[in-house]
Chain A
């Protein structure tokens, strides 16, 4: 691969990054080529030792998304970061996607329970309207009790969701540091 090919491949793989950031990165590699050439290496040799531009780009993109999620953890940002980190290597399909699905399922389940408990008196009322003959005060009071419980669960879920999100972002950061990349035998 020539310098031109290497840089344009890297450029293309990085097109999701802000242009300032991309320019910065390309500049670093320009510099690397210039110094290698000054030492008498050929463009092909330099590109060969640098490794695959696509893999380098994946690393940079994953770092970028994880950083963004750290600054503002919106749902869309989290999904983008998880996706980028999974792209780092096949290995991550298991050790990132697996826990991610499990955590999302737990959070969704928790909120669903809270939501269902909170609206339960409404369900009793609907039931009473449809079948007035089976109305029992016990149902009404019990459902009001559930609403209280649901509110507590919702408060708990709010904090749990925040804790899980920040914990998972830390895990992604750790993963980017350790997983894949950099090695010849990769």
Chain B
């Protein structure tokens, strides 16, 4: 898929994952790369940017195995940003899907 396009969508992926519960960086990266082919390292700059923009807060939590983990938590601002992004995405994909459907029938 087009490279430019995917990076914008990555933001939505992270927001979707954090909507349900707080997660730590490694977990987010694995969840996304299970589904989409990405360079995993770029999720971290994205997380930092969205944190600085006030969409997430972070906290450290001890884990039973390994070092303490940095968790990301969606803020209220982040949640409303997520809603608007999700709506845009659905409108967009519905439109594209509709065109594909019509195209397939016509052929």
Contacts and interface: CB of A to CB of B under 8 A. Distances in A.
Interface string A36-76: 10100000000001111101100110010001000000000
SS class of chain A's interface: helix, strand, loop or mixed? helix
B41 A63 contact: no
SS class of chain B's interface: helix, strand, loop or mixed? helix
Contact of B66 (A34, A176, A182): A34
Most chain A CB neighbours (cut-off 10 Å) among B25, B26, B29, B69: B26
B39 interface: yes
Contacts of B33: 49
A80 interface: no
Interface of A: 24-25, 27-32, 34-36, 38, 49-53, 55-56, 59-60, 63, 67, 91, 176-186
24 contacts: A25-B48, A29-B44, A30-B67, A31-B26, A31-B67, A31-B69, A32-B29, A35-B69, A50-B41, A51-B39, A53-B41, A59-B45, A63-B52, A176-B49, A177-B7, A177-B49, A178-B4, A181-B7, A183-B7, A183-B37, A183-B39, A185-B3, A185-B37, A186-B3
